[in-house]
Amino acid sequence: MQDIQAKIRYLSLSAQKVRIVIDMVRGKSANEAMEILRFVNKRAAAPVQKLVASAVANAEENFGVSRDDLYVEKITADEAPTRKWRRFGARGRFKPILRRSSHVTIILRERGV
């Protein structure tokens, strides 16, 4: 059995928000994961759905594996670099703004036949 991998790097969403979405699809079949993500009302759902679709396409094109046999073995959201901005506030002070980003990695595996 081979591991099929795909990544999103520097996704402009915090890892904390992406983890809420990826926890829904961990361990599910690839088709079921894509259906779940289609109806999740979170901003992170669209890029994660594209990631799953990309991993499935990698499996079909590069390894000749059917999409019906695939399941989400592992999916993680790690922190990426944070852009630090500042906005000036009252009385000459400034307020730091942290623009967080994340790296998302998915590993699909073929079900044991």
Cβ–Cβ under 8 Å, residues 15 and 79 = yes
Instruction: Check: pTM over 0.85? Answer yes or no.
Output: yes
pLDDT at 1: 65
Above 70 in pLDDT, residue 6?
Answer: yes
pLDDT digits (tens, 9 = 90+) for 53-109: 999 999 999 999 999 999 999 999 999 999 999 888 899 888 999 999 999 999 999
pLDDT digits (tens, 9 = 90+) for 56-65: 999 999 999 9
pLDDT digits (tens, 9 = 90+) for 8-63: 999 999 999 999 999 999 999 999 999 999 999 999 999 999 999 999 999 999 99
CA distance 96 to 113: 53
Q: Answer positive or negative: Cα dihedral of 107, 32, 58, 20.
A: negative
Cβ-proximal residues to 24 (8 Å cutoff; 6+ apart), any chain: 36, 37, 40
Cβ-proximal residues to 11 (8 Å cutoff; 6+ apart), any chain: 18, 47, 80, 101, 102, 103, 104
CA distance 63 to 98: 41
Domains of the chain: 3-110 (3.90.470.10)
